[in-house]
Amino acid sequence: MFLVTLLLPLVLADATSRHPVRPQAAIRNTLMMVTAFTLAHSITLSLAVLSVVTLPAKWVEVGIALSVVIASLNNLSPAFPHARWLFPFGFGLIHGFGFANALVDLGLPAGTLTIALLGFNLGVETGQVVIVLALVPALVVFARTRLYRPLVLRGGSAAIAVISAVCCVERLGVTT
């Protein structure tokens, strides 16, 4: 959901424009965002798997859910319209700890950690590429319609924010 949330506004000229960007600009924006996210989560994934830095899994999961809420709300009311790469980099650091928890939970022998880390990271990147290749062309085309901003960007971001807020509450263990 985080990646989808980040991709939704990248096909528009800016946060207030009704005009879509040219496909080349959408590709450039996407590459910048994905590179920032990849760099950040690769750093913390490596640090956590190699036990240089560890964080409690519960708080990492809460942080990931909260990062999706914040990124979605930023789509609705942009706080940083000209620094779109800040969210993927900053929150990518948190996501890397989440990826690390998933890898460590596999209980692999210490001697295989380097290869497992490389393979896992490549798997995450492959998943990202598949999502980007499937979603961005459709977003570029649909952004040319009047329905894109209200239905896809705003409606999709609002739905993702609600779902992520529920996930955040669940991970906090809050009951009603």
pTM: 0.87
What pLDDT is stored for residue 4 in this prediction?
94
For 37-52, how does the pLDDT look when each residue is reduced to its tens digit (9 = 90+)?
999 999 999 999 888 9
pLDDT mean across residues, the chain? 87
107 sits in the region (left: phi over 0; alpha: psi -120 to 50; else beta) called left
Give the other-Cβ count within 10 Å of 39's Cβ: 15
- Dihedral sign computed on CA atoms, order 61, 40, 132, 102: negative
Identify the residue with better confidence: 65 or 30.
65
**Do 174 and 65 form a contact (C-beta atoms < 8 A)?**
no
What is the residue whose two structure tokens read 């910048």?
32
* Residues contacting 170, CB < 8 A, separation 6+: none
